[in-house]
Amino acid sequence: MEEGPEPNLPTKTLGLNADLQKKHQAMLDRLSNRHQARLDNSLARRSDSGNSSESTSSFLSRFSDSKQSIDSQLADSRLIAQSDPSRLKSHFANLSSSISDLEILVAENSYFLPSYEVRSSLKTISDLKQNLETLNSELIPKKKFSFKNKATTKKEPIKEPEPLKYDTVSLSNFKMPDSPGFRNKTNETLVKKFKGTDIGEFTLSDLDSCEVRLTGCCNAVFMNRLKNCKVYLGPVIGSILIEEVEGCVFVLASHQIRIHLAKKCDFYLRVRSRPIIEDSNVVRFAPYCLDYEGIEMDLQKAGLSEETGNWANVDDFKWLRAVQSPNWCVLPENERVGKVRVEDFESRIEGS
C-alpha cells in the first residue's frame, strides 16, 4: 500500500499553525498593551479628578468650620453686651479679622474651586460682614451727647468696611448713586482731599481726558463713563464700583473692587478680596503704586496696610471655564508706571 506524499502534509500544517499562532499571539499582545494603556490613562484621570475633589472637599470643610466659629461669636455678641460691654470693641475687631481671614482663604484656593463655590463663598462672606455691621451699629451706638468734667481728646470712631452688596450679581442694571463728586469735565485736573470725618460716598462721572487725585479716606467711590482718564485714589474703606470706562489708568486701594464694561484700561490695585470684572476686555493689573504724605496712616485706618497679592487674582464674572479668562492679564513690569507721587494740596475744584 502506497503512502504517497501524505506524510508531509501534517508537517506543513503544523508549520502554518505555528505561524498563525505567533501572529495571533502578537495581535493579542498588542490589544492587551492598548487596553492596559487606556486603563492607566483612565486611572490617572480618576486620580487627578479625585485630587481636585479632595481639595474642594478640604476647602469646604475648612470654610464651614470657620463660618460656624464666626456665627457662634456673632451670636455671643449680645451676651457680651449685657455682661461686659467694654469688651465689645475688641470682640468686633477680632470678628472682623476672622472674616478677613476667611476672605483670604477663598482667594488662596479659588484657582481650583468651581465658579459656583467661589460665588457662594463670597456671598457668605458678604452676609457675615453685613451681620457684623448690623450688630456693631446696634450694640455700640454713636453717642449724641457727652457731659464730662474732664477734658478729653476726641477720637474718630473706627468704621467697619461696608459690604459690597452687589458682589454676586450682574451689574447690567445697576444705577449709580447721586452722591457728591466730579461730573461732566474735560481736560481738567480734579483734586480733593478727604479730611477727618469728611468721609462718605464720592462719584466720578462723564469725565474725558481728566486727571483725578483723591487723597485721604472715604467710604465708597463710584465711577461711570470715564474715557482717557488717570485716577489716583487714596484708601477706600468700603468698596469701589467702576462702569463703562475706556483707555484709563486707575490706581486704587479698597476692600472690594467691581469693574463692569471696561476696555483697554490698566488697574494698579491693593484689595482685600478678589477684584471682579464683568463684560470687560483688554484690562491689565499691577500692584498699587500711589504715594503721598500720610498715605501709610490712611492705609492703616482703612485696614489696607498689608499687600494681599489679590491684584493678580482677578475673577471674571462671565468667564466660567477652568482656564484663566482671556479678558485680563498681569501688566508686564517693564510697562508699569512705577511709584506715583501725588502732592498733598487743597482742591482746586471741589466736588459738587
Q: Which tens digits make up the pLDDT trace of 159-213?
A: 444 444 444 444 554 555 677 899 999 999 999 988 764 567 899 999 999 999 9
Average of per-residue pLDDT across 78-92: 84
- In this structure, which CATH number among 3.40.50.970, 2.160.20.70, 2.40.10.330, 3.40.50.10490 belongs to the domain 181-341? 2.160.20.70
Q: Are strands 290-291 and 249-271 parallel, antiparallel or unpaired?
A: unpaired
Amino acid 134: pLDDT: 86
Q: What percent of the chain lies above the pLDDT cut of 70?
A: 68
| E-assigned strand segments in the chain | 181-186, 189-193, 201-208, 211-215, 218-227, 230-246, 249-271, 276-278, 281-287, 290-291, 315-316, 328-330, 340-341
Mean pLDDT of all residues in the chain?
77
Q: How confident is the model at residue 93 (pLDDT cuts 50, 70, 90)?
A: confident
Q: How confident is the model at residue 248 (pLDDT cuts 50, 70, 90)?
A: very high
Amino acid 156: pLDDT: 47
Average of per-residue pLDDT across 316-330: 83
Q: Which residues pair with 290 in a beta bridge?
A: 340
Measured CA to CA, the distance from residue 36 to residue 103 in angstroms comes to: 45
Amino acid 38: pLDDT: 53
| Higher-pLDDT residue of 30, 209 | 209
Q: What percent of the chain lies above the pLDDT cut of 90?
A: 31
pLDDT of 216 higher than 60:
yes
H/E stretch holding 49 reads helix 9-83
Q: How confident is the model at residue 133 (pLDDT cuts 50, 70, 90)?
A: confident
Amino acid 158: pLDDT: 42
pLDDT of 112 higher than 90:
no
DSSP class of 173: T
Residues in the chain, total: 352
Average of per-residue pLDDT across 8-13: 49
What amino acid is encoded at 282 in this protein? V
Residue ranges covered by each domain of the chain: 46-139, 181-341
Measured CA to CA, the distance from residue 233 to residue 221 in angstroms comes to: 9
May I ask the CATH architecture of the domain 46-139?
A: Up-down Bundle (1.20)
pLDDT of 315 higher than 60:
yes
Measured CA to CA, the distance from residue 202 to residue 219 in angstroms comes to: 8
Give the up-direction half-sphere exposure of residue 352: CA atoms within 13 A in the CB hemisphere.
Answer: 5
| Higher-pLDDT residue of 317, 35 | 317
Highest mean pLDDT of the ranges 80-89, 149-158, 223-232, 294-303: 223-232
User: Mean pLDDT lowest for which of 207-216, 261-270, 316-325?
Assistant: 316-325
Q: How confident is the model at residue 224 (pLDDT cuts 50, 70, 90)?
A: very high
Q: How confident is the model at residue 17 (pLDDT cuts 50, 70, 90)?
A: low
pLDDT of 253 higher than 70:
yes
Instruction: Break the chain down into helix, strand, coil percent, rounded to 5.
Output: 40, 25, 35
Amino acid 61: pLDDT: 87
Amino acid 155: pLDDT: 45
Contact in structure between 223 and 248 (CB atoms under 8 Å): no
Average of per-residue pLDDT across 67-96: 86
| Higher-pLDDT residue of 142, 147 | 142
pLDDT of 329 higher than 50:
yes
| Higher-pLDDT residue of 218, 352 | 218
pLDDT of 268 higher than 80:
yes
| Higher-pLDDT residue of 84, 265 | 265
Amino acid 352: pLDDT: 41
Amino acid 346: pLDDT: 39
